[in-house]
Structure 1
Amino acid sequence: MTTELQDNPATEADPCRTDRPPGSFAALPFAQALGRNALRVLVGLQIARTVFRIGFAAMAAATVGRLVMGTPVDPALPLIALGSFIASAVAGACAERREAFAETRIACALRERAGNRLATLGARSLQAMPAGETIVALQRHPGAVAALAVGHKAAMTMMGFGPLLAAAALLLVSWQAGLLVMGLTPVMIVFFVLVGATIRRRADDQERAFAHLARQFADRIRTLPTIFANHAFARERDTLSRRLDAHAGRTMGVLSIAFVNAGLIDFFASLSIAMLAVFLGLGHLGLVSLPGFSGLAFWQSLFILMVAPEYFAPFRRFSELYHVKAQGVAAAAALDRLMDREPATEPHIEAIEGDLHALPERGLVAIVGASGSGKTTLLRRLAGADAQAGQGAPPLAGATWVSTDGFVPAGSLADAMAWRCPSATPARIEEVGHALGLADDRLLPGGLSAHVAAGGGNLSGGQRVRLAVARALIADRPVLADEPTAKLDDATAARVREALCTLAQTRCVVVATHDRALASAAMRTIDLDRTVKREAAA
């Protein structure tokens, strides 16, 4: 990914590392280092375009001036003018293509870097991250940072080179005309500073508001069943619609200020060109005698009027992209803030880490403790889903996971029960289905042939747990169960307890539970509350 952007990957490899410690995501420095060579090429193409445009202006002015004055025209002049025009167009097209290519590649590399950083976090850390804000960060922020590192940086660089080239061309013809054009530059810089500060503030506010909106939207998606159950869909839809309209209004506010900034540049450019046209016209008519404006050939006056807009073009381009800077800086800060999270640690879990590798080959092990004490985290550690660096092989990698958030494929109930169980037979599936009350569940018409939606959308939490337990009974693997009886009625919970105890006779079954009856049947109990108290006393 990164080497396609760099002429010498060896010299640019360090900024692209993704194994840095937390606190060093550095989205903007990473993007700038990755796009450095592409930026050089882009600026070179833009300088070439400016040179060709000035050359076209000179040749076109000389040709038209001679035609107007009735003097012979060298055939080479219009040919050179046409060639310069084509060359400037080609250079401009190549510059635009290079800019788009570089920004796309940098955005993809930033997303890959962010993905690698997220992969180093444990499941508990990922769950603690705001889902909506994280999705927005991975979708919107890399593009904004890439535009800042390439497009805006190129515009800022050209604001130094472009006006100098145009001013040099003007000074060769009339230094007075050149000074008149350059005299308005300090005024434009003052407006840049004033307008830019306003855009920065609004962009920061907009970024925070959008992240808040994304979190709210993700929350509404997660709680859709509750919203429908309480007949609150229309109310929540109207609320989100109003907030989206408010965000759109803030976005237009930022853009309107950027357009005002560009309009100011147009005003100064038009004023400067109008003053030049008046002074040059009066000089040609002989009505006034102004040094640098009187006694010029017609082609020289035409050349001055054609080159003057080139002086202001880089300023205008920079002003158009000023909001890109504000958005890019805000996006880079948001990415760094989101990705520089320290992995969540639970000292009381670390204290019993060594005991996890001494689990029995068969038997029921119960993990108990208050909500939030880390029971699910411990299960994920056992499965390897929340592995930490240097932890070694997880004790129960490949175990069957039993919980309400297990994967459910689309198809029949029998197919869902046999998922990833190659040894499953129709007879065994039917036996397990009846044992857990799935085959004759009145809420699943059709028995084992009942249709199951992808993700188990048409299943209740209890049905999903029983489906996971059914897989565990069919498969020949260790079992990790997260609150397997929490969402069940007493009769069904008793069936699940019996099934887990049966499984424990032939394999290791580890359950995280608040169910005292299930915990009392365990041959070994890990009480996280006692571990916490023991550490506090120490």
Structure 2
Amino acid sequence: MRISNDRKRTERRGNRATTAPLADNSTDHDPALGLARNFGTAGLRTTLSWQVARTLFRIGFAGSLAVFAGRLIEDAAFDVIALSGALACLALSAAAGVLADLAAAGAEDVVVDRLRAALQDSLSRKSPVRIRTRPAGALVAGLQRYPGAVAGLVISHSVAKSMLAIGPTLAAVAVALVSWEAAITLFLAIPVMVIFFVLLGGVVRSRAEAQEKAFGRLAAQFSDRIRTLPTILANHALPREHGKIEARMTLYADSTMAVLKVAFLNAGIIDFFSAIAIAVLAVLLGLSHLGLMHVPGFSGLALWQSLFILIIAAEFFTPFRRYAEQYHVKAEGQAAAKELDWYLDDSGTAMTGADDAGAKPFTIDGAFDAADFPPAGLIAISGPSGAGKSTLLRMLAGIETPPPGFKPLLQVTAEGCDWISTDIYVPAGTLGEAIGWNRGGHERAVLQSAAAHVGLLDERLLPGGLDARIAEGGDNLSGGQRMRIGIARIMLSGGVVLADEPTAKLDPQTAKLVRQMLIDIAKRRLVIVATHDERLIEAAGRHHVLRVPSQDGQAVAA
């Protein structure tokens, strides 16, 4: 692609990004959770209010039903008022539950939408080199999946956590009005449940983090295999790649089941201890009514009071059961928030080639001045992954802001620059249109010569010559085909060639072809490559190594 046009598009994106700044109320340690909680504050309060109302109506239902059943059994009296109150409270409880669920769903949708907008805004301000540190598949899948998991944590789980204190308190107060001894009996079961929450919490959290990592690796691998499918088919490697993806899917399924197993175990433990507590109450109340034993607070109660205690006892443990059901939501949400913190990390945004103190984030071996570059030849730039090789190329091209004193090539050459890589932009249309894109008008014979030189006319997986159909974005192209289209493009111009990892992710035969083409072009023009390819480095007339300062300030190279 031509750098001048790409530079304009980059500047427009930067201008748009400044109009939508990231909210500044997130915490330093948990920016994703801070944003999500802020976005969900109003919805959380509404949902919690309806849940409290639902609990109160259920307590009212329990009291009315107990009075109705007690009078019906002891006095053979059909209490219409008590029955009507029970039915009314039941209906209101159901309505409050529906409204609470709707409020929770609406609040989570708001959190997801606003969180995605904040993430997209943050990504628009990150430097391309920072974004490329993550696989495209994992990046897109994370935007799709993680906001929903975080929304579930800040809404559904937060409501369940709040009701864990509010629900049992309301139920215990209602029981205490009849028998404070029974209320204390209910509270005795709480420490045991809390202990199991703590013990299982760490297990669920670690397994949820493993699940999210497995999901990210699966998404990245799937995206990469889809992009390189033509190459896979050409090399008859489909069965092998199918086996790899199937293994990843199995690993992700196993990690998901590992999370659910612990969550189900947690819920089962809650049900077990709540059943024991209710059974103890039922035995004490039953033996007291039969006159077989005398227990303070349980003897001398009317039948409706005993029934009320038993019904409310079930309501007392309901919040614990719901919290246990939401426990894996907490673990998944925390793991997702941890992953989203990368998206919101501003340390990789608006990369300028210098840190806050004005120092370069990397050092370069040898003199590196665009004004001193030869008119032709091959210059290789190497260094460890993430050292800034692509950033340096973008500085040379003028699409990254360079540090003071660094001159982009556009300031020292009138020929312009051409950028090539395995992910260059390819428009939908024909092969001829893809080669001639952004190059002005060229005769078909010129396009034919360029395509023939890079071996695209006799491409078995791209039949039709210059009329071969190209899908939008080049989705039906392999990395090698993209690279050869890029090389064919630069043959139509005479500027400096900037090649970003030109032989990466290519099969050996295609990499050899691309390497030789760049060497041939370097005999007539200046070619600057950022690469790990040792053979390409050996063929270069000049070699510069990027060194990244370590924690102790010493420069570290590849």
Same fold (TM over 0.5): yes
Deviations 1:262-312 (A, max 9, x none): 112212222222222233333333444433333322322222221111100
| Contact persistence 1:170–1:177 (CA under 8 A) | yes
Task: Note closer, same or farther for the CA distance 1:172–1:515 as it changes in structure 2 (3 Å cut).
Answer: closer
Corresponding position of 1:370: 381
Specify the SS of the correspondent of 1:14.
Answer: coil
Instruction: Measure, in 2, the Cα distance between the counterparts of 1:127 and 1:231.
Output: 29
| Contact persistence 1:430–1:448 (CA under 8 A) | no
Task: Give, in angstroms, the shift of residue 248 of structure 1.
Answer: 2.3
Instruction: Measure, in 1, the Cα distance between the counterparts of 2:321 and 2:212.
Output: 25
Corresponding position of 1:124: 129
Task: Note closer, same or farther for the CA distance 1:396–1:15 as it changes in structure 2 (3 Å cut).
Answer: farther
The one-letter amino acid paired with 1:280 is L
Task: Give, in angstroms, the shift of residue 150 of structure 1.
Answer: 1.9
Task: Note closer, same or farther for the CA distance 1:201–1:339 as it changes in structure 2 (3 Å cut).
Answer: same
Instruction: Measure, in 2, the Cα distance between the counterparts of 1:531 and 1:276.
Output: 72
Matches within 5 A, 1:65-464: 65-70=70-75, 73=78, 75-214=80-219, 228=233, 231-336=236-341, 340=345, 342-343=347-348, 345=353, 347-348=362-363, 368-372=379-383, 376-381=390-395, 385-387=399-401, 401-419=419-437, 424=441, 428-434=443-449, 437=452, 441-443=457-459, 446-456=464-474, 464=482
Corresponding position of 1:505: none
| Contact persistence 2:71–2:79 (CA under 8 A) | no
Instruction: Measure, in 2, the Cα distance between the counterparts of 1:377 and 1:94.
Output: 52
Task: Give, in angstroms, the shift of residue 527 of structure 1.
Answer: 7.4
Please, which moves more after superposition, 343-352 or 43-52? Answer: 343-352
Specify the SS of the correspondent of 1:15.
Answer: coil
Deviations 1:475-528 (A, max 9, x none): 9x9776437998658997799679x87xxxxxxx98658999x999xxxxx975
Task: Give, in angstroms, the shift of residue 70 of structure 1.
Answer: 4.2
Task: Note closer, same or farther for the CA distance 1:303–1:229 as it changes in structure 2 (3 Å cut).
Answer: same
Unaligned runs of at least 5 residues, structure 1: 1-11, 18-22, 502-508, 521-525
Task: Give, in angstroms, the shift of residue 252 of structure 1.
Answer: 1.8
Instruction: Measure, in 1, the Cα distance between the counterparts of 2:95 and 2:68.
Output: 23
Specify the SS of the correspondent of 2:382.
Answer: coil
Instruction: Measure, in 2, the Cα distance between the counterparts of 1:325 and 1:96.
Output: 18
Please, which moves more after superposition, 76-85 or 393-402? Answer: 393-402
The one-letter amino acid paired with 1:182 is F
- Is 1:482 aligned with 2:499? yes
The one-letter amino acid paired with 1:275 is V
Q: How many residues align?
A: 496
Higher fraction of helix: 1
Please, which moves more after superposition, 116-125 or 150-159? Answer: 116-125
Task: Give, in angstroms, the shift of residue 76 of structure 1.
Answer: 3.8
Task: Give, in angstroms, the shift of residue 257 of structure 1.
Answer: 1.9
Instruction: Measure, in 2, the Cα distance between the counterparts of 1:515 and 1:81.
Output: 83
| Contact persistence 1:375–1:528 (CA under 8 A) | no
Specify the SS of the correspondent of 2:295.
Answer: coil
Please, which moves more after superposition, 198-207 or 176-185? Answer: 198-207
Deviations 1:225-275 (A, max 9, x none): 665555443234334434432442333232222212211221222222222
Specify the SS of the correspondent of 1:368.
Answer: strand
Task: Note closer, same or farther for the CA distance 1:305–1:494 as it changes in structure 2 (3 Å cut).
Answer: closer
Instruction: Measure, in 2, the Cα distance between the counterparts of 1:531 and 1:197.
Output: 40
The one-letter amino acid paired with 1:200 is R
Specify the SS of the correspondent of 1:406.
Answer: coil
Task: Give, in angstroms, the shift of residue 467 of structure 1.
Answer: 4.1
Deviations 1:350-380 (A, max 9, x none): 9999x77x899xx968772333496643443
Specify the SS of the correspondent of 2:434.
Answer: helix
Instruction: Measure, in 2, the Cα distance between the counterparts of 1:315 and 1:490.
Output: 64
Please, which moves more after superposition, 440-449 or 77-86? Answer: 440-449
Instruction: Measure, in 1, the Cα distance between the counterparts of 2:107 and 2:244.
Output: 39
The one-letter amino acid paired with 1:319 is A
Please, which moves more after superposition, 47-56 or 79-88? Answer: 79-88
| Contact persistence 2:484–2:514 (CA under 8 A) | no
| Contact persistence 1:407–1:455 (CA under 8 A) | yes
The one-letter amino acid paired with 2:470 is V
The one-letter amino acid paired with 1:452 is I
| Contact persistence 2:64–2:82 (CA under 8 A) | yes
| Contact persistence 2:60–2:89 (CA under 8 A) | yes
Instruction: Measure, in 2, the Cα distance between the counterparts of 1:530 and 1:320.
Output: 51
Instruction: Measure, in 1, the Cα distance between the counterparts of 2:424 and 2:98.
Output: 51
Specify the SS of the correspondent of 1:167.
Answer: helix
Task: Note closer, same or farther for the CA distance 1:170–1:59 as it changes in structure 2 (3 Å cut).
Answer: same
The one-letter amino acid paired with 1:238 is G
Corresponding position of 2:24: 14
Instruction: Measure, in 2, the Cα distance between the counterparts of 1:271 and 1:489.
Output: 73
Specify the SS of the correspondent of 1:173.
Answer: coil
Instruction: Measure, in 1, the Cα distance between the counterparts of 2:314 and 2:449.
Output: 83
Task: Give, in angstroms, the shift of residue 166 of structure 1.
Answer: 0.4
Deviations 1:96-150 (A, max 9, x none): 1222222232233333333333333322222233445444533333322222222
Instruction: Measure, in 1, the Cα distance between the counterparts of 2:365 and 2:103.
Output: 50
Instruction: Measure, in 2, the Cα distance between the counterparts of 1:531 and 1:468.
Output: 29
Unaligned runs of at least 5 residues, structure 2: 1-21, 354-360, 504-510, 549-553
Deviations 1:10-30 (A, max 9, x none): xx953169xxxxx76622222
Task: Give, in angstroms, the shift of residue 49 of structure 1.
Answer: 0.6
Instruction: Measure, in 1, the Cα distance between the counterparts of 2:197 and 2:480.
Output: 62
Choose the corresponding residue for 1:35, options 40, 59, 74: 40
Instruction: Measure, in 2, the Cα distance between the counterparts of 1:277 and 1:391.
Output: 84
Task: Note closer, same or farther for the CA distance 1:457–1:272 as it changes in structure 2 (3 Å cut).
Answer: closer
Task: Give, in angstroms, the shift of residue 55 of structure 1.
Answer: 0.8
Deviations 1:200-221 (A, max 9, x none): 3433444445445555555655
Task: Give, in angstroms, the shift of residue 54 of structure 1.
Answer: 0.5
Specify the SS of the correspondent of 2:301.
Answer: coil
| Contact persistence 2:419–2:498 (CA under 8 A) | yes
The one-letter amino acid paired with 1:377 is T
| Contact persistence 1:123–1:385 (CA under 8 A) | no
Instruction: Measure, in 2, the Cα distance between the counterparts of 1:14 and 1:530.
Output: 35
Deviations 1:442-474 (A, max 9, x none): 436544323334444666767645644666687
Task: Give, in angstroms, the shift of residue 169 of structure 1.
Answer: 0.6
